[in-house]
Amino acid sequence: MSSTKVTNGVHENGGLRQRPSAKSKVSTVTDIGRESDKRLDKHTSSVKFTTSRRLVNAKIYCALLSYEFGGPIGVAVMIAIFPPLMYYFWICIWFYDGALVFPNGMGDIIPFFGRMWGHVQSVRTQLTTQCAY
């Protein structure tokens, strides 16, 4: 809800959209806001790296370079783990009525994965026979 009027797709205050403040229903455009809009339109960073504030800027720079999800290694692990995990959840829902199944011991780990793969194969063969011409 803007307090400015829009005519032909352009706001009357120079093209800047604003929210009304809590004190009044009318907003004003400040010089700082105009500078911020110009900077955002150029997609440049507001961080200035000067030698006088090297430690603070180094922390800001490191914060800018921080990765989400553990960086490339974390994303690679998620790419590798999520598809089998979704198959596991699907098998648990479809074949075990939503119960999470686990190997019965250390000796059952390889047969467990064989049973999981067997569930996927059984559905695949059913689908291929039903969809055959």
Within 8 A by CB and 6+ apart from 17, the residues are 2, 4, 11
pLDDT tens digits, residue range 2-60?
A: 455 556 555 565 555 666 555 656 667 888 888 878 877 776 555 555 555 555 566 66
pLDDT at 129: 80
Domain range list for the chain: 6-64, 74-130
Strand extents, DSSP E, 51-124: none
Q: What is the mean pLDDT of residues 51-76?
A: 70
DSSP conformational letter for 5: -
Strand extents, DSSP E, the chain: 6-7, 10-11
